[in-house]
Amino acid sequence: FSNFKTPNDFSAIIMLEYAEKRVLFTGDIENETGKNSSENLFVKYYSNNPGVVDCDVLKVAHHGSDSSTSSQFLSIVKPEYSVISCGLSNKHRHPVGSTLNNLTTAHSKIYRTDLQGTITLTINASGEMKFEVQTDKYDDKLLDDGDTIKKYETDHSDEIEKYKASL
């Protein structure tokens, strides 16, 4: 751990397992190319243990920044669903296109708090998962691929900016 450069590298990585469903929480882990970052160490360790960290749901690291959620990481965790927590039109422009493209390429359905509001996942004792979206602006919008998200953001950029200004 002496090679870690930022506090984000010390983020906890937690797998929650209930009723044979798995949710992976990744904090703000990062993946600097060629570095001993937390995501790279995770990939290196688990690439020799396929299937151990497959998950049904991934809480995307670092708000979907370009310093996390690499294609190598996604090939190991294989999330069916991904949740990105970020603010609407935030100053860091999270989530970034490369992360959205990585998730789309991994065939992960994407939920985003900036476009959908509060996202709640419920897993019952039988293992049935249910996502609920709570917002008055973007109800019932499951944007499940990068192209749909990009088109939505382009088509509604004025509305998004007005909504951000009203906060």
Q: Encode pLDDT of 146-159 as tens digits.
A: 456 667 777 777 87
The alpha carbon of residue 108 and the mean position of all alpha carbons in its chain are separated, in whole angstroms, by 10
- Close Cβ partners of 38 (under 8 Å, ≥ 6 residues apart): 4, 8, 9, 10, 11, 13, 29, 30
d(CA 72, CA 54): 13
d(CA 118, CA 138): 10
Output phi, psi for 18, to 5 deg: -150, 135
| pLDDT the model gives residue 142 | 43
- The model carries a pTM of 0.77
| pLDDT the model gives residue 89 | 61
Report mean pLDDT in 10-residue bins for the chain, 167 residues: 69 92 89 73 86 94 79 94 81 75 94 87 97 66 52 74 64
How do residues 55-72 score in pLDDT, each as one tens digit? 999 999 876 777 788 899
